[in-house]
Amino acid sequence: MERSSKSFNFAAYHTLETIYDWMDTLAADYPHLVSKVQIGFSYEQRPMYALKFSTGSSSRPAIWIDAGIHSREWVTQATAVWTANKIATDYGQDRSLTSILDMLDIYLLVVANPDGYAYTHSNNRMWRKTRSKNPGSVCVGVDPNRNWDAGFGGPGASTNPCSDSYHGPSAQSEVEVKNVVNFIKQTGNFKGFISIHSYSQLLMYPHGYSCNNIPDYQELDAVGKSAAKALGSLYGTSYKVGSICKIIYQASGGSIDWSYNYGIKYSFAFELRDTGRYGFLLPANQIIPTASETWLALLNIMEYVRDHTY
Amino acid sequence: QKRFIGDQVLRIEPGSNEQISVLQSLQEEDDFQLDFWLHPTNPDLPVDVRVPIASLQAVKDFLESNGIRYSVMISDVQEMLEQEQKEMEANRR
């Protein structure tokens, strides 16, 4: 068992239990900044926890970050763990982050698909979806990033329960998605929504279900390019920036399309490393470099949100 | 525990919109049990797909007969999984 947030090995992949235990130690080590908020239970009744970073009252504007909705993208959850620690340790030390947290709250859902993540450790390392049963099919699970109420059931999502991009029987049928939607609606005042995935190095903004430009296209494109430049300043990692539809493929029912349509203007999705040598099996010694460069982009976006509240 | 012995990940480089259409038809083929990591969308982007060993020869034949370029990105997925597992055990210790 990891006994302190300071002795945790961030350069390793961990099970869900270890990550959840570590979240407790982080909250205990930084009680005036970090708290663990349960946003609901997964299909298999695992708790879903977001870390809340807050220095003030409850009605502050906030930024949402989630990681690991596709469970096999392990460097994503590992990056989120590192990022949570970075936020906790840099507050009061780093002027930029401190000024962000003096104005905004940050919520970080470290493992957005806990059932899938547990399944990647126990049964199938390549599992991507949730673990919900599909009536009438032998195949299990829904792609939780095709299940949001944004162009649901449109192009780039499968009607076949056996497909890895099955959209599910209805929008928000997956409790993991519904929990986030409810939490965002109940908490209110979110100004930024960032989903972190991994594979192929992209920074994307809405939409995925449509290839038409969104009204804030120019602004989000500029913010995305600035963030990608900041990210690349550490190791020269090259990111493509653009709308989901234009730089990867048309995909309906995605999380940031929902958040943008809901009114959260600064909605972005990351695809972290790599370019195609290790696939979803990125060696653990690349966790910290990946997280470190990603942090620069996250900070860049959060600074922008801080300076452009609406 | 599901094992991936001999499964490969192919990086396919479609050269035209016609080849994209051919790859999209491959995507619809349930029997091969392909796991697309990057989907066929436009000729500027590669397509990455994990191919179970049982389908490997058929998929490679399909690509070659359609004149579509590809290379092997991961030659044995299970080998990489075992390395990852060892690394995790070492880290745990």
Task: Dump pLDDT digits (tens) for A184-201.
Answer: 999 999 999 999 999 999
- Sole residue written with tokens 């977001």: A50
Phi first, then psi, for residue A18 (nearest 5°) are -65, -40
With contacts defined as CB-CB under 8 Å, which chain B residues touch A12?
87-88, 91-92
pLDDT digits (tens, 9 = 90+) for A183-242: 999 999 999 999 999 999 999 999 999 999 999 999 999 999 999 999 999 999 999 999
- Cβ–Cβ under 8 Å, residues A290 and A237: no
DSSP assignment of A143-171: -TTS-SSSSTT-TTSBS-TTSTTB--SST
CA gap B41, B85 in Å, rounded: 34
Could you tell me the mean pLDDT of each successive run of 10 residues in chain A, 310 residues long?
A: 72 96 95 97 98 90 98 98 98 98 97 98 97 96 98 94 96 98 97 97 97 97 98 97 92 97 98 91 96 98 96
Nearest CB among A126, A160, A277 relative to B50 is that of A126
Per-residue tokens: A94: 């780093």
Strands (DSSP E) along A128-261, which ranges? 190-198, 202-205, 240-243
> Average pLDDT in the B76-84 region?
96
Instruction: Determine which one of A176, A271, A293, A303 is catalytic.
Output: A271
> Is residue A271 among the annotated active site residues?
yes
> Average pLDDT in the B68-93 region?
94
* Cross-chain residue pair B4–A125, CB shorter than 8 Å: yes
Q: Is B20 on the interface with A (CB under 8 A)?
A: no
pLDDT for residue B41 is more than 70: yes
Per-residue tokens: A65: 């970050």
With contacts defined as CB-CB under 8 Å, which chain B residues touch A138?
none
CA gap A47, A114 in Å, rounded: 8
pLDDT at residue B81 in the model: 96
ipTM for the whole complex: 0.94
Q: Which of A69, A65, A56 is nearest to A87 (CA)?
A: A65
CA gap B22, B58 in Å, rounded: 14
